[in-house]
């Protein structure tokens, strides 16, 4: 199965972001014919402050019911092209709180997975810039996996990548490929992005599929930058596809025979199970 990661340079204009996403997905499909495409984190909005995020938020429907513009765009693209569309994440209006939420649609346009980001990005970057995702968003609790093309995929979002216990749990639940849509800051991305993605691939012996946002955006009058470098890593930790700077996509084929060989020759999951019960001396 071929998968494509879409790299966007979204801003605070939701309509323009939807148009950009559609054009980039159409280009990836025309060029590489993937069975699954993946968008970055919060591809419907980046920047503009609280008001812009609230305006971009959508109330998500019950599966099968009609949704908002982003929801219907994702569903329509999946149905029109007969592929699986992993919608990175959008801003969900959950009533009392917003949520950073992934949506996945199967080739028939039916929603097959929904995941709310568990780990919220409350940090101070090396340049002193503060990020407080929990000031606006609630955190999720439930894990989400889905099947596409005979492969079991799992959902995570951005900051989740720093918590290996989450990825181990997904591997134990049968994941073969883990999606990581992201808006990694330039400051953290240049040092940690590829290292973390490759580490999680090696830890879990899963394919890591990471669509990311690239470039600058405005936030409360200041310019901020996101790192990009969308990539796909195989279960041995090799980066097998990476997007260039700017908008675009990268594509790789998920080789289940490689997954099986890596897991057979280095059976980490079995070894980990055998090593339980440690005690402090």
Q: Which residues are catalytic?
A: 41, 117, 158
Contact 248, 7 (CB under 8 A): yes
Bridge partner residues of 132 (DSSP)? 122
H or E element, residue 80: helix 69-81
Q: What interhelical angle do 69-81 and 14-32 show, nearest 10?
A: 10
Distance, CA of 165 to CA of 214 (rounded, Å): 28
Angle at 199 between CA 193 and CA 203, to 5 degrees: 150
**Helices (H), strands (E): how many in the chain?**
8, 18
Contact 164, 195 (CB under 8 A): no
């Amino acid at each position: 199965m071929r998968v494509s990661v879409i790299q966007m340079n979204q801003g605070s204009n939701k309509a323009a972001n939807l148009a950009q996403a559609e054009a980039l997905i159409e280009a990836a499909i025309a060029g590489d014919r993937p069975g699954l495409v993946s968008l970055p984190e919060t591809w419907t909005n980046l920047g503009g402050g609280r008001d812009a995020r609230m305006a971009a938020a959508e109330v998500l429907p019950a599966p099968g019911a009609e949704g908002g513009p982003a929801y219907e765009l994702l569903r329509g693209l999946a149905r029109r092209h007969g592929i699986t569309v992993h919608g990175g994440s959008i801003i969900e209006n959950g009533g009392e709180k917003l949520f950073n939420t992934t949506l996945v649609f199967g080739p028939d346009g039916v929603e097959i997975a929904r995941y709310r980001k568990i780990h919220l990005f409350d940090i101070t970057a090396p340049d002193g810039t503060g990020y407080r995702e929990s000031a606006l968003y609630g955190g999720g609790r439930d894990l989400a996996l889905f099947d596409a093309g005979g492969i079991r995929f799992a959902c995570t979002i951005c900051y989740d990548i720093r918590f290996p216990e989450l990825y181990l749990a997904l591997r134990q639940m049968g994941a073969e490929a883990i999606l990581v849509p992201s808006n990694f800051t330039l400051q953290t991305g240049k040092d940690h992005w590829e290292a973390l993605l490759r580490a999680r691939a090696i830890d879990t012996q899963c394919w890591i599929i990471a669509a990311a946002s690239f470039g600058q955006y405005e936030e409360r009058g200041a310019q901020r930058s996101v790192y990009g470098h969308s990539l796909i890593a195989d279960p041995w930790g090799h980066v097998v596809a990476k997007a260039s700077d700017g908008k675009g996509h990268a594509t790789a084929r998920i080789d289940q025979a490689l997954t099986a060989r890596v897991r057979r020759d280095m059976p980490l999951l079995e070894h980990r199970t055998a090593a339980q019960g440690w005690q402090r001396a």
